């Protein structure tokens, strides 16, 4: 499979909102408590929408909006689990993002 082009501006924008940053931290910590079937993608377990709502104390449509932004930026994967939806951090894409920045800005 050919690597998708990394849109660094788009990913940076996804990470530039405090709510989404918190969500990413949560996803990275592999927490999952409320959903019956823990998911696994790239060796990581995921979170469902309901748990994110609970942890952040935010209403459903707000969480849904931000999850969509993260998915569209390509740094979060989603997978339906019955009427739930599990979200997973896309480690590979984030690594590519960092590599791209490293190359663009000539870092070490």
Partner DNA sequence: TAATCATATCAAATTTATTTGATTGATGCA
Partner DNA sequence: TGCATCAATCAAATAAATTTGATATGATTA
| Sites of contact with a copy of itself (CB under 8 A) | 8-9, 12-13, 15-18, 21, 24-25, 28, 89, 91, 94-95, 98, 101-102, 104-108
Scanning residues 8 to 67, which ones bind DNA (CB under 7 A)? 13, 16-17, 19, 48-50, 53, 58-62, 64-67
d(CA 14, CA 97): 12
| Residues that contact DNA, how many (by CB under 7 A) | 25
Q: Counting contacts by CB under 7 A, is residue 68 touching DNA?
A: yes
Choose from a copy of itself, DNA, none: what does 62 bind? Cβ within 5-8 Å by kind.
Answer: DNA
Q: Looking at residue 38, what DSSP letter applies?
A: -
Cα angle 33, 37, 38; round to 5? 60
Radius of gyration of the chain (CA): 14
């Amino acid at each position: 499979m050919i690597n998708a082009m990394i849109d660094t501006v788009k990913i940076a924008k996804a990470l530039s909102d405090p709510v989404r940053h918190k969500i990413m931290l949560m996803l990275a910590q592999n927490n999952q408590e409320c959903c019956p079937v823990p998911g696994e993608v790239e060796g990581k377990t995921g979170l469902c929408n309901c748990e994110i709502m609970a942890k952040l104390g935010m209403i459903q449509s707000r969480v849904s909006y931000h999850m969509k932004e993260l998915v569209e930026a390509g740094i979060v994967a989603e997978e339906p689990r019955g009427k739930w939806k599990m979200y997973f951090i896309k480690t590979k894409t984030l690594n590519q993002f960092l590599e791209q920045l490293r190359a663009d800005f000539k870092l070490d």
